[in-house]
Amino acid sequence: MSTDLAYVTETLARARAEVGKVIIGQEAVIDQALTAVFTNSHALIEGVPGVAKTLLVRTLARVLGCAFERIQFTPDLMPADITGTNVFNLARNEFVLMKGPVFTSFLLADEINRAPAKTQSALLQAMQERLVTIDRETHALPPNFTVFATQNPIEYEGTYPLPEAQKDRFLLKIQMECPDREEELNLARRMLGADAPERVLAAGAVEEVLAADELPRLRAVIETLTVREELLTYVVDIVRRTRKHEAVLVGAGPRATQAMLLASRVTAALDDRDYVTPDDVKAMARPVLLHRLMLQPEYEIEGLGVGDVIDSILRETPVPR
């Protein structure tokens, strides 16, 4: 293993450990959040209230030395509230740009599905090109700009489903479940003492493992990990099967293929390897495809879930040796 890759693996392990000081359990969730950051992509986080979605992103920003901003999406939120606007300065007799919260490294779009499509679309250009156009003038966002968008899976009143084009721009969908009994018991004990998760973060007990300007170099190392030709074929076959499955109304597009390859490389680095295996691809198939597939209504009525379809596709697709 190269010295550079060893440093990446060590950094990922340290980031895992530091985030774990605040987020109890949720190891897979932490790994998936790191995957989004180290591929310079975006993530959709879904979970019921109280499972630490916001706390996860805040902690991750602290650990990776990145600026953090949060937007609470509401039905009356306007695009200018996200991007910013030009305001006339009487003293200088000119318009001055008042930057919105989108000008940051880690942007938490909280309950993104509570805002109408017009407001949600304000993030499209930012997520795809890391640029924002305000009054016909284009502004660059920080190179580490990452959107973590949260949504509640059980509330439908007053919500607006995300457009397919916007969902496709999220590398993966992170599902945060409630902790198991032992983890919830541990959380209850900590809440009675000085090591409650929020207090740990506020007290500065979480260490910064690297500076924000180091992230591009680490990403460049991850891009050198070996992906065999057979694995490329494997990934393409998985994605293409989503378009032909009888239960699927809308399958995954080419961006899903790219996302699975990028995510699989980070999974390999997390596992201290300089090459990608079929297991890495399988591990990332569900989070990459969950938000990209739309099922036929009759299959949804029968209780079939998107996860069930993905599992079926993985079983049917020949695994390279």
Phi-psi region of 7 (alpha: psi -120 to 50; beta: other; left: phi over 0): alpha
For domain 3-224, the CATH class is alpha beta
pLDDT in tens, 116-141: 888 888 888 889 889 998 888 888 99
pLDDT of residue 48: 83
- Domain 225-321 architecture: Orthogonal Bundle (1.10)
57/47 Cα distance (integer angstroms): 14
Asked whether the predicted pLDDT for residue 64 surpasses 60, the reply is yes
pLDDT of residue 303: 84
111/240 Cα distance (integer angstroms): 31
What are 68's strand-pairing partners? 106
Backbone angles phi, psi at 248, to 5 degrees: -100, 125
241/257 Cα distance (integer angstroms): 12
- % of residues, the chain, pLDDT over 90: 55
Residue-wise burial string across 129-141, b where 16 or more C-beta atoms lie within 10 A, e elsewhere: eeebebeeeeeeb
Asked whether the predicted pLDDT for residue 1 surpasses 60, the reply is no
pLDDT of residue 156: 63
In the chain, CATH 1.10.8.80 sits at: 225-321
Q: What is the mean pLDDT of the chain?
A: 89
Kindly list the distances between the CA atom of residue 301 and the CA atoms of 144, 218, 305, in Å, as whole numbers in the listed order. 41, 45, 10
Mean pLDDT of 87-113: 87
User: Of 157 and 184, which is predicted with more confidence?
Assistant: 184
82/122 Cα distance (integer angstroms): 7
> How many other C-beta atoms are found inside a 10 Å radius of the C-beta of residue 220?
11
pLDDT in tens, 282-294: 999 999 999 999 9
- State the pLDDT confidence band at 190, using cuts at 50, 70 and 90: confident
| Predicted TM-score of the model (pTM) | 0.90
Asked whether the predicted pLDDT for residue 187 surpasses 90, the reply is no
In the chain, CATH 3.40.50.300 sits at: 3-224
